[in-house]
Amino acid sequence: MDDDLNFAGAEEAFNDDDLLKMFREGGVSGDLLPFEGGQSGVIAPPEPLMPRNEWSNTSTRSVAVPWEDLQLIIRQHSVHKVEEDELNGEKIYVVSNLRKFKIEVALVYRDGLDAQGQAEPALDNRLELRAVLLYENGCVVKKSTEDEQLLLGETEVVTIKGEATFKLQMGPSILSSKMGKQNFRIKIEPVQQAIAEQNQQLIVLTESLKSVTKLERKPPPPRVTSAASGTVLGLCALHIPCSLSSCAGVR
């Protein structure tokens, strides 16, 4: 595809009001938090959720409830790198199409939080969910050929005891550089169309994702030579402010 590709299907895009509404209702995830396990970051859930090991002990509801009484939220969303826009300072979430990333969702009750301010999971409802690739503006990404793979990995899952995890990977051709430099979102929605159409609160969107092949690494800090001793010193030895990455291994 050419970089100046014109994107069709604008009439299918979410407008700003739609995206803002989904964000406020838990449809789009929040700020970036530290994440262990080799990833660079994880996007936090829009509201707190009780620890998994407490779910079965604290829930007072033991039967499945109507879908309109439930809501889907993003608990965690891993990314491979976080960049900063040089013009406006906004965060840019980056994933590589050579690696998998995870999206953890939770099915919770809509009628408020418990006494501890935590969302209560719906333990007895099982909901079939699927992941759909969108452009950043909300248009569905369409295959250019019948065999093209847009998303790899576990694209369909079922909530069990109120939670489900997608392990996804961008398709080989899904690169922002090849799509007019446009970013993407992942939409999580019920597999059953009737449930999705009647319960918009069960549809969530991730943050905007930039898809690349190779993750650019920061160049090593400059090294200077002390005039007095001829010793090569790094930034940290010179007490010049530096990032954590450039200070790695320094004690």
DSSP label at 50?
A: -
Closest listed residue to residue 181, CA positions, set 211, 141, 149, 215:
211
Every domain of the chain and the residues it spans:
10-217, 218-251
Instruction: Give the contacts of 83 (CB within 8 A, at least 6 positions apart).
Output: 91, 92, 94, 210
DSSP label at 172?
A: T
32 has a pLDDT exceeding 60: no
119 has a pLDDT exceeding 70: yes
Per-residue confidence (pLDDT) for residue 4, from 0 to 100: 35
CA-CA-CA-CA torsion sign (238, 241, 246, 247): positive
Ramachandran quadrant class, 75 (left: phi over 0; alpha: psi -120 to 50; beta: rest): alpha
pLDDT 10s digits, 207-243: 999 999 988 776 555 555 444 444 333 333 333 333 3
Please say whether the beta carbons of 166 and 157 come within 8 A. yes
Closest listed residue to residue 127, CA positions, set 148, 107, 142, 155:
107
> Residue 153, CB half-sphere, CA atoms under 13 Å: how many?
20
Per-residue confidence (pLDDT) for residue 163, from 0 to 100: 96
Please say whether the beta carbons of 56 and 161 come within 8 A. yes
Cβ count within 10 A of residue 120: 21
Please say whether the beta carbons of 79 and 117 come within 8 A. no
pTM for the whole thing?
0.65
Here the tokens at position 78 are: 């891993």
pLDDT 10s digits, 14-27: 555 555 455 445 44
